[in-house]
Amino acid sequence: MTSLDEYIRSLEDLVENFEEEVAKIVLANSGNLLGTIKNRLFNKGLDGNLQSLGPYLDSTVKLKEAKGQRASFVTLRDTGAFYNGMFIDVTGSQITIDSTDSKTDELVSIYGEAILKLTDNELEIFIQSILEPAIEQLILRSLPKQIDI
């Protein structure tokens, strides 16, 4: 049995470390989050605001078709370096999605910061299906099961 004081200390510890624990959950699921962005870019050519990245120039279409690559709309996956370089960083409650690819700044200046963003719906799905259940498990693991009153 746990005293009420011990239970309160457990709650305080949980609150004190909450941002760090959420960051761990986000980072543990970064592959899922990044995959969501990559799939949307590649399969739909849409940024995180659901805006089209647009069509390729005719000259680019010819080059892409010659390489056997998708040419119907911009996917940002020509060499794969942008996709392969994607990563998530969590600082406090701020989640940043970026890419180590040397062309990232140029791509962002052309297509906007939303190329490295989840849509509102994608974020909501992540929160409901992954983040909230993981937080519930964290709470269950962190707090004593019984209190001695």
83 contact partners, CB below 8 Å, separation of at least 6: 38, 41, 42, 76, 77, 99
- pTM for this predicted structure: 0.87
pLDDT value for 89? 96
81 contact partners, CB below 8 Å, separation of at least 6: 101, 102, 103
pLDDT value for 1? 58
Residue with the two structure tokens 């299906």: 129
Mean pLDDT of 67-89: 94
pLDDT in tens, 92-135: 889 999 999 999 999 999 999 999 999 999 999 999 999 999 99
pLDDT value for 142? 84
End-to-end CA distance of the chain: 9
What percent helix, strand, coil does the chain show, rounded to 5? 60, 10, 30
pLDDT in tens, 1-50: 578 888 888 889 888 989 999 999 999 999 999 999 999 999 999 999 99
| Domain layout of the chain by residue ranges | 2-148
pLDDT value for 29? 97
